[in-house]
Chain A
Amino acid sequence: MVRILLRTYLLGLVLVSLPAAAQVSEFKLDNGMKVIVKEDHRAPVVVSQVWYKVGSSYEPDGITGISHALEHMMFKGTEAVGPGEFSRIVSALGGSENAFTSRDYTAYFETLSVDHLERALQLEADRMRNLLLDPAEFAKEIAVVREERRLRTEDKPSGKVYEQFNAVAWRASPYRNPVIGWMNDLEHMSVDDLSAWYKRWYAPNNATLVVAGDVEPGAVRAMAERHFGPLQPSDIQSLKPAAEPQQAGETRVEVRVPARQPYLLMGYKTPIVGRSDEPWEPYALFVLSSVLDGGESARLARELVRGSGIAASAGADYGTYSRLPGMLLLDGTPTDGHSVAEVEQALRDAVARLREELIDEAELKRVVTQAVASKVYQADSLFYQAMEIGTLETIGLDWRLIESEIDAIKAVTPEQVRTVAQRYLVDDNLTVATLHPLPMDQQASQAPAGAGGRHGS
């Protein structure tokens, strides 16, 4: 319902993997490609995912969105497989396939009956090195991508808020750019740009194959060697760090677009797993986020939605895993008769309380219990199991962190939660975006199209 509608943004930590002695095997091909196999013999199916270490945070200005545009073009043909043929072959095998691009990765997957795994690997190996990038196909597909941007961002008030929020929150970090790219960049992208991007990043030594399902690791290894083994590695140049400078004061942005509901999004810059001087900090932030928004019994639902009733929804979200430092996000929608400013104040008060007081032991216990149960529930999804391994590997962390996660959460103390609140949830480290609705029935109130620059319109 409402909460689900408004909170599509704010999902909790990706809590990963099952405790039951997960059968995971890992090996490396001679060309540097890593292969990770997770056995799950509940059903005769398999998920195959090829993860590339490239995403929007790798992109320089002017060609934002190129990783995602290339992902679209990966279905448009090689010497051996014609445009659209990839999808038709997988479909005829009873499989489903898709791909996704994020800040830190681009991934391609097939879900199929286990006896068709080899064909999927053969197709993936082919397009890792042999993509054609036909200019006529590109001209059509980049138009599709622009339609996608219109659907996701241009015509979606919350999408606009999120885009503008990131654009002002980050000064140097490439996380300031939208994954799908700025419209102006999409309008000026060329097939040569894509060709260079493909050559730079698509190589076996910049990829990880994750296979989860009813498979034997030895058989997967043999298949991987047969199809990916012959591919030549590339010289992958390392990225510059693009570190975000210390923020020195609150940042605000107002987004004025036709809409029916006001909305508030706030974020504090925070450390992440594997990049924190003190390894416990990200887990303390996870607990903190769950104390605020780990369900209907958590503080924001109890106090802002039900208690004072000033918010129709309120949420918190902390991304534990990313390549570069991220944020702890808070958001909310006021009820009628209350303002965005009141919701903001209530969220700030909730944060201040975390800086000043220790959380209850009962709250901590609830968060741990939920995390443990989630581990079991997540084992029901094959795709999820592969996804968590691929994510960690691709952002440069060891997938085994998945297995120590529960222990790390259990080790968090109320004092540590207060400490991370005091260190990171401070005004100088805060960005606030508000959606100010303009009337829906006035065409003139639309932001001018093609106004250029970092505008998102």
Chain B
Amino acid sequence: MAADLQIACGAGLRRVAGRPGLTVWRSALVLVSLLVGLVHAGPNVESWQTSVGAKVMYVHAPDLPMVDVRVVFDAGSARDAELPGLSSFVNGMLNQGAGDWDADSLALRLEERGIELGSGSLRDMAWVSVRSLTESEVLDAALETAREVIANPRFDAGAIERVRQQMQIGLRYSLQSPGTVAQRRFFRTLYADHPYAHSPSGEEDSLARISRGDLVRFHERYYVAANAVVAIVGAVDRAQAERIAEQLTTAMPTGRHAPPLPPPPAVSGGELRESFPSSQTHIYVGQSGMARHDPDYFALYVGNHVLGGSSLVSTLGEEVRNKRGLSYSVHSYFSPMRVQGPFLMVAQTKNDQADEALKVMRDTLARFVSEGPSEEELEAAKQNLIGGFPLRIASNGKIVEYLAMMGFYNYPLDYLETLTDKLAAVNVEQVRDAFSRRVSGQAGIAVIVGGSG
């Protein structure tokens, strides 16, 4: 869901909560939008370039003896070209041996120092994250290892076959869920032959076709300084942060930034039904949404917060869940991406209620598009977004993701500081106007997967 939003509010919770089914939440943990930031005197964001040309975003957070580093590249699945899954494959190979270390010694080197290394790849961006204590021996080892992981992955033949197999099995596992099947089908339909059409996890046959040469070429082209943003948050001062950024990027060639993505195609609406051996039917209804830096960004974002920002307090939640008990998790969202991401409404209900749920969702959207939110609804949404700012940046882990996002999408350094004003300025007329121009109350694509289809 929300493919290119990268802050999962569930992450910390899930770790504590343990096994699914062991802890059951009242409402689904939905990805929190990246839009929200801080109110007064947010973190002081500084930025500069490393000597090889990587952009750095930095915030000093002195309270805990730790540092978070996140290096993002314009190297997501939108760069896969003819080989869906290539970006994820390359990303998954990074920690499987780099520089002088094979996968075993690399893992040991990190873990015997308590260093955490992560990585991932979505449609727009691919990233490597490092969390380390600030103790110098530990931090040096973390940076040295991360530098090699990013710049000099080995792409050993055995590791390639292992990761290929893991990706294929991961893909099959995800296709056991009717929700995943519906989401993939939605993107394929909405984006047709656009690079956003396929899932970052690829396809079984494309994964089988990817060669070592493909991996090496992709890495050489996209994991370069001109295509990178380094975000740093922690108990390191500016001078230390500069050294950290240099250490991390020194082995990286300067290279070139990835080329612009084409605009998404115009796709007309339609209804697609697919059977699935499930007791619930998953519904994905939507259309083309907005890009980062879209002039309607704030009106659409705040408007959607009223429409379906959460399962509990939103018009969709009220109509589908609270009034009718049709679905546990129902919400809508815009995924603002490099070029237009989707606008989506999502719900799931037992098979014989699917048509009713779909109708309620469509009627709710149509009414919202034609009438817009009430003054009270809009005010409540703005209060939630503005009042909630401090929560969204209350940890180093959250701030570093914001920095990476801001650097990646070229937001100004005062982005977070000016957000509340921009949210506060949104009025009912702007929302109504933006939705009536940008969102069709009638058409759109509906993908319905479950039961007998």
Binding site for B on A (CB under 8 A): 1-3, 5-6, 8-11, 14, 18, 42-45, 68, 71-72, 75, 83-84, 87-88, 91-96, 98-103, 111-113, 116, 139-148, 150-159, 162-163, 178-180, 258-261, 294-298, 301-302, 305-306, 309, 312-313, 317, 319, 333, 335-336, 362, 365-366, 369-370, 372-374, 376-377, 379-384, 387-388, 391, 440-443, 445-446, 449
- Closest Cβ of chain A to B408, distance in Å, is 21
**Across the interface, do A180 and B24 meet the contact criterion of CB distance under 8 Å?**
yes
B326 touches A147 (CB 8 A): yes
Using known A-B contacts A140-B324, A141-B325, A383-B12, determine if residue A6 contacts B23 with beta carbons closer than 8 Å: no
Cβ–Cβ < 8 Å partners of A111 in chain B: 391
User: In the complex the two chains form, what is the Cα distance from A376 to B63 in whole Å?
Assistant: 11
Query: Is A312 touching B114 in the complex (CB atoms < 8 A)?
Result: no
A-B contact count (CB 8 A): 276
Among A87, A155, A336, A362, max chain B CB count under 10 A is at A155
Minimal beta-carbon separation of A295 from chain B (angstroms): 4
Nearest-neighbor residue (CB-CB) of B161 within chain A: A309
A5 touches B24 (CB 8 A): no
Please report the C-alpha to C-alpha distance between residue A91 and residue B310 in the assembled complex, in whole angstroms. 10
B-side residues, CB < 8 A to A, are: 12-27, 29, 63-66, 88, 92, 95, 103-104, 107-108, 110-116, 120, 131, 133, 162, 165-170, 172-178, 275-280, 310, 312-313, 318, 321-329, 348-350, 380, 383-391, 393-397, 452
In the bound complex, do residue B22 and residue A179 qualify as a contact, i.e. CB atoms below 8 Å apart? Answer: yes
* Complex alpha-carbon distance, A91 and B103, angstroms: 46
Residues from chain B with Cβ under 8 Å of A93 in the complex: 383, 387
Top 8 closest pairs, chain A to chain B, by CB: A94-B387, A373-B114, A143-B325, A2-B170, A296-B107, A140-B325, A297-B107, A2-B166
On whether the beta carbons of A102 and B24 are closer than 8 Å, the reply is: yes
On whether A366 and B26 interact (CB within 8 A), knowing A96-B388, A159-B20, A384-B12, the answer reads no
Q: Is the CB of A147 within 8 A of B13?
A: no
Residue in A154, A180, A362 whose beta carbon sits within 8 Å of that of B112 in the complex: A362
Shortest B176–chain A CB gap in Å is 5
In the assembled complex, how far is the CB of residue B66 from the closest CB belonging to chain A, in whole angstroms?
A: 5
C-alpha gap A339/B104 in the complex (Å): 25
Which residues on the A side are within 8 Å of B280 (C-beta)?
Answer: 147, 150-151, 154-155
- Which one, B21, B95, B385, B386, contacts A152 given CB within 8 A? B21
| Complex partner residue of B277 from A94, A335, A446, CB under 8 angstroms | A446
CB closest chain-A residue, reference B43: A43
Q: How far is the CA of A1 from the CA of B91 in the complex (A)?
A: 10
A11 to B110, CA, bound (A): 19
A155 adjacent to B25 (CB under 8 Å): no
Establish whether residues A297 and B328, one from each chain, have CB atoms under 8 Å apart when the complex forms: no
The complex places the Cα of A98 from the Cα of B176 at a distance, in Å, of 28
Distance from B227 Cβ to chain A, minimum over Cβ atoms (Å): 22
Assuming the contacts A94-B384, A155-B279, asked whether A372 and B24 have C-beta atoms less than 8 A apart, the reply is: no
Cβ–Cβ < 8 Å partners of A140 in chain B: 322-325
CA of A178 to CA of B102, assembled, Å: 42
